Structure 1
Amino acid sequence: MDKYEAEKIAKQVGETLRKIRKERGMSLQQLAETTDVSKLTLGNIERGEANPSLTVIWKIANGLSIPLSFLLQENEEVKISRKHRGNKVLSANEACTLEPMFEGTHHGSSEIHRAFLKPNSEYKPGAHQLGVTEYVTVMSGEVKIKIEDEYYHLYEYDSIKFSGDKKHAYINPTSSTTVLHFVMTYSNS
């Protein structure tokens, strides 16, 4: 991701976050308590001075009970989502690149992502907010998904559905990048 793209995403996330916070009549302190993200970090994000990691964006989305893609939305009537050209966020360990696709223009009840999981790596989003259902399809490669204490091994074009509010992780056991397609639904939106 180039510097311009990172700045654009940071500005977009900040503007959207400020809008949501004001709509809900929340102070930065209340937002910090709700999301478990520091007031200083949230202020920097709102001003577009920080490019938040995927972990921080998930904390904010979970705390506000909104789809992650809502924070990254772009207002366009027709949109094509091309690989590696849209918004993207990295997991804290940079093992996973998540590309939100077809963001909604309001607090939506579902979202779609494409994800690229590096070879021999693990992405641990943890548990999402209550009511999230994840639908994951392996588009290329393979993945082991750990949900609570159970492992599920999926291969190309295999799909799985599970409650995203359970602790889970994605493991790429191969020496090639795994490409995943996510659909996430939110029953409490």
Structure 2
Amino acid sequence: MSKKTPRIGPAIQKQRKQRKLTLEQLSLQSGVSKSMLSQIERGEANPTFAVVWSLTQALEIEFSDLIGASASTTAHDQIEVTSASHTPEIRSADGSCRLKILSSPRLAGQSEWYQVEIEPGGRLESEPHTLGTFEHFTAMADGVEVTSAGSSVRLKAGETARYPADVNHSIANISGAVVQGFLVVLYK
């Protein structure tokens, strides 16, 4: 059985149209620019977890409903479990980077964490997040290069880079094999 990446863009568009909202109206309600909304809906941009959270709040829907995983979480007393098949996943526009969203939707805009997989030669490039945001990336293999504000470091397996993310930054695979790691984003 193959696992499919949730189609967030078309799902957002469907929810927006069901509510008879224009792109401009949803932009005003969510704080996400009209051009970004348009790109997301067309599948040309992969939104950050915080952007998706803003959209779900504006549309008054649960994050799990957006990705079609409303039955994916089960409660065992106070423990919430999300199955692997319902863990949301986003990909870079070129398909070379895959991020599994491991954090709870309730923490969006405060902290987010991801399992990251990057193909050889792939680069996860990010524009600045909100002022004071920091990222922590732990490499699970050699061959990762982290760049923030023009400074770069190469990581070995098990090393963690902590860096400002309120500037342009990237995580690149400079090895000849797929690399994985864990990314934590902390918003101030």
- Whether these two folds match at TM > 0.5 is yes
Read off the aligned partner of 1:131 and give its amino acid letter.
G
Aligned CA distance change for structure 1 residues 185 and 16 (closer, same or farther; 3 Å)? farther
Read off the aligned partner of 1:120 and give its amino acid letter.
G
Tell me the residue number matched to 2:32: 35
The 5 A counterparts of 1:84-99 are 86-99=87-100
Matched, 1:58 2:48: yes
Aligned CA distance change for structure 1 residues 102 and 13 (closer, same or farther; 3 Å)? farther
Q: Deviations over 1:108-161 (max 9, x none)?
A: 511110010111222211221223211110023321111111111111110011
Read off the aligned partner of 1:98 and give its amino acid letter.
L
In the aligned structure 1, how far is the partner of 2:90 from the partner of 2:148?
23
CA contact (8 A) 1:89 1:97 kept: yes
Tell me the residue number matched to 1:68: none
Read off the aligned partner of 1:53 and give its amino acid letter.
A
Tell me the residue number matched to 1:170: 171
CA RMSD of aligned residues (A): 4.0
CA contact (8 A) 1:72 1:100 kept: no
In the aligned structure 1, how far is the partner of 2:90 from the partner of 2:125?
14
Secondary structure of the structure 2 residue equivalent to 1:105: helix
Read off the aligned partner of 2:38 and give its amino acid letter.
T
Equivalenced residue count is: 166
Aligned CA distance change for structure 1 residues 72 and 118 (closer, same or farther; 3 Å)? farther
In the aligned structure 1, how far is the partner of 2:155 from the partner of 2:96?
18
Tell me the residue number matched to 2:58: none
CA contact (8 A) 2:127 2:167 kept: yes
Tell me the residue number matched to 2:186: 185
CA contact (8 A) 1:141 1:176 kept: no
Secondary structure of the structure 2 residue equivalent to 1:181: strand
Q: Unpaired runs of 5+ in structure 1?
A: 65-70
In the aligned structure 2, how far is the partner of 1:4 from the partner of 1:128?
28
Tell me the residue number matched to 1:146: 147
Aligned CA distance change for structure 1 residues 99 and 13 (closer, same or farther; 3 Å)? farther
Query: What TM-score comes out, normalization by structure 1 length?
Result: 0.67
Secondary structure of the structure 2 residue equivalent to 1:27: helix
In the aligned structure 2, how far is the partner of 1:52 from the partner of 1:172?
22
Secondary structure of the structure 1 residue equivalent to 2:51: helix
Tell me the residue number matched to 1:6: 6
In the aligned structure 2, how far is the partner of 1:16 from the partner of 1:103?
21
Q: Unpaired runs of 5+ in structure 2?
A: 55-60, 65-69
Tell me the residue number matched to 2:67: none
